[in-house]
Amino acid sequence: MNPRFAPCSRSRDSPPAIMKSVNIIAAVLLAPMSVNAIPEKPVRTPSPHVEPMWSNCIKFYRAVPNDACQSLADKNGLDLAEFIALNRGIGGLSGCSRGNVVAGYWYCVKPNGWE
């Protein structure tokens, strides 16, 4: 063993903090998607809305005061990772924790092709 390096104090079973972050990012980027046999017709995106947003969204929700990422996801039958993937302009989990959901703005809650 090289005396210049101290042994690692972390157990082999616990992942480093960076891996936890990578796992969260992967969950957002790889949010599960279901595909319908017949896609619905995209609708006009209401304003104001966050950019970037999913390009073929067919259902939107207008945020009200005290809404947050998790409450918008819950109200619309999405998990948090799906909501963030559809509304990238929020800024991911860090944007959610900073309160980047703005009352009066529209958010994508159902993209074309998802069940």
- Tell me if 75 is assigned to some domain: yes
CB of 61 closer than 8 Å to CB of 109: yes
Is residue 40 classed exposed, middle or buried when 0-12, 13-18 and 19+ CB atoms within 10 A define those classes? middle
In angstroms, the Cα distances linking 77 to 3, 7, 10, 72 are 55, 47, 38, 9
Whole-Å CA distances, 115 to 3, 57, 66, 78, 105: 58, 12, 27, 11, 24
Query: Rounded distance, CA 34 to CA 109, Å?
Result: 14
**CA 24/CA 58 separation, integer angstroms:** 26
Whether 102 is in a domain gets the answer yes
What's 105's domain CATH number? 3.10.350
pLDDT in tens, 38-96: 455 657 888 888 887 888 889 999 999 999 999 999 999 999 999 999 999 999 999 99
What residue type is assigned to position 88 of the chain? R
Q: How far apart are the first and last CA of the chain?
A: 56
pLDDT recorded at residue 68: 96
15-19, 78-82, 100-104: range with lowest mean pLDDT: 15-19
Q: Which domain holds residue 81?
A: 46-115
Q: What mean pLDDT is predicted for residues 1-7?
A: 50
Indicate whether 8 belongs to any domain: no
Alpha carbon distance 100, 46 (integer Å)? 18
Count: domains in the chain: 1
pTM: 0.63
